[in-house]
Amino acid sequence: MRNKLIVANWKMNFTVSEALKFIAGLPREAKMELEDAEVVICPPFTALYALDEAIEGIPFQLGAQNMHWEESGPFTGEISPLFLKEMNIKYVILGHSERRQHFQETDSTINKKLALALQQKLIPIVCIGETVSDHKEGQTFEVLEGQIKKILDGQLKADLGSLVWAYEPIWAIGTGKNASPEQSQEVAQWMRKLIAKILDAPTAESMRILYGGSVSEEKARGFLKQPDIDGLLVGGASLDPKKFADIIMSAAPAQ
C-alpha cells in the first residue's frame, strides 16, 4: 500500500525565525502521528538546519526544493545532495515548473539530478505538468509523456520504486484554478499505465503520484479520495499554519 504524502513547498518564503514561528503555530493535532500518511516540509535551504531541530518529536520529514546534479565542484551558489544527506533531509523536489521557467531547467538536467538523488538515497519528488496552451490545445498527455520518458531515460529501474511524481498543471499553480479531482485522477491513472509500459507494473504501482496546483484546505479531501492520487504538493496554502493543518488532517481517515 502507498502511504499518503502531504508536502509543503514554501518556495522563497520564510526566514529562519518565521519558519520556527510557523511550526510553533501549527495546531497540535496536525503534529501528531498520522496513520498511513507522511508530512514533508520543504523550506528554503537556510531554514533546514533550524527546522531539523524544531521538528524533534514531531513526525514530519524535511525536503529540499532543489539540488545540483554533481556531488561537488565549481558550481557557485549550488547545493549538493551530500550537503542535504548530512542534514537528515529525506526528500528533494526536482524540476518544479518555476525552476524550469526562471532557471532554465530542462528534462535533461532533471534527468541528471534524478540519477544522483536516487544514488544518494534521497526520495525525489519530480514535478511535471502542462502549460495553459498545451492544456487548451488538448496536448496534456503528449506533453506529460515526453517529460516522463526523458526524465526516466537511462535510470536504474531497481532504484525507481521510491520516486514520487507531482503532477502540477502549470495553469493551476498559484492561480486559484485547479484541475478537478476527477481530471487529476484521470491523469494519474494514465501516468501509472504509461510508467508500467516503460518500466514494469510493480514499479509503477509503488510510485506515489501527488497533485499540485492551488490546493486549498477545502479541496484537499476531494483529491485524496482519488485512488491514484497519493498526496498533495501544496504551495500558497502551506504558508498558513491553520490552512496547512486542515490539509494535513484531510489525510487522516474520515471520522
Report, as residue numbers or ranges, the catalytic residues: 96, 168
Q: Which is nearer to ligand PGA, 8 or 204 (CB)?
A: 8
Considering only 174, 177, 201, 205, the residue that binds ligand PGA (CB under 6 A) is 174
Is residue 173 part of the contact set for ligand PGA (CB under 6 A)? yes
Compute the least distance from the CB of residue 212 to ligand PGA, in Å: 4
Is residue 234 part of the contact set for ligand PGA (CB under 6 A)? yes
Is residue 236 part of the contact set for ligand PGA (CB under 6 A)? yes
In the range 112-171, which residues lie near ligand PGA by CB under 6 A?
Answer: 168
Is residue 226 part of the contact set for ligand PGA (CB under 6 A)? no
**How many chain residues touch ligand PGA (CB under 6 A)?**
12
Is residue 212 part of the contact set for ligand PGA (CB under 6 A)? yes
Question: Which of these ranges, 29-37, 138-146, 218-226, 232-240, lies near ligand PGA under the rule CB under 6 A?
Answer: 232-240
Write the DSSP assignment of the chain as a string of letters: -PPEEEEEE--S---HHHHHHHHHHS-GGGGS--TTEEEEEE--HHHHHHHHHHTTTS-EEEEES---SSSSSS-TT---HHHHHHTT--EEEE--HHHHHHS---HHHHHHHHHHHHHTT-EEEEEE---HHHHHTT-HHHHHHHHHHHHHTT--GGGGGG-EEEE--GGGTTTS----HHHHHHHHHHHHHHHHHHS-HHHHHHSEEEEESS--TTTHHHHHTSTT--EEEESGGGGSHHHHHHHHHTTSPP-
* List of residues contacting ligand PGA (CB under 6 A): 9, 168, 173-174, 212-215, 233-236
